Amino acid sequence: MAKWLEEVEDLVYHGRIKVPYQWWVGETGSHFFVTLRDDKKLLGTYCPKCDLVFIPPRKACGRCFSQDMEWRELGQEGTLVTYTIPRENEALRPLDIPYAYGIIKLDGADTGLTHLLAEFDEDKLKSGMRVKAVFKEDRQGNILDIHYFKPV
């Protein structure tokens, strides 16, 4: 060990440091969330090489890795691909029971969007049924601006 280091006294500061920050979702995510918040429109990105539309949107195609993506407006309705219904009444639940988590393939998209489902009759909820987005009145610019999807 260096001789000068032996003479240095350790300094320990006990305290709290507040570091305010915002999380940035990038150029593609920002455009998606701003459009969702301001216009209540769902956008996907289209890869002309693979002829695929992705939602959530991507900066690059997940199949060919091309960055030549184009924006496409998608419908607010889609098909429920699959779902699960939580049975426990947990403190951190996103909605009042009954609700479900589902994967929705929106009209015009080739991939599914995972989101909440509500306003359904549990006996009639099934894969393949049509659902539509219900938007919050006070939108903040995040995925929860879509409050949930409900049967058409």
The domain spans of the chain are 23-151
> Which pTM was predicted?
0.81
Question: Residue 10 pLDDT > 90, yes or no?
Answer: no
Instruction: Please tell me the predicted confidence (pLDDT) of residue 93.
Output: 78
Percent of the chain past pLDDT 70, that is, above it, reads: 99
Q: Does position 1 have pLDDT exceeding 70, yes or no?
A: no
Smallest Cα–Cα separation from 115: which of 133, 127, 97, 128? 133
Angle at 135 between CA 130 and CA 141, to 5 degrees: 125
Tell me the C-alpha to C-alpha distance, in Å, between residue 122 and each of 93, 100, 128, 151: 18, 9, 14, 11
C-alpha span between 105 and 24 (Å, rounded): 26
Q: Are β-strands 130-135 and 146-151 bridged in parallel, bridged antiparallel, or unpaired?
A: antiparallel
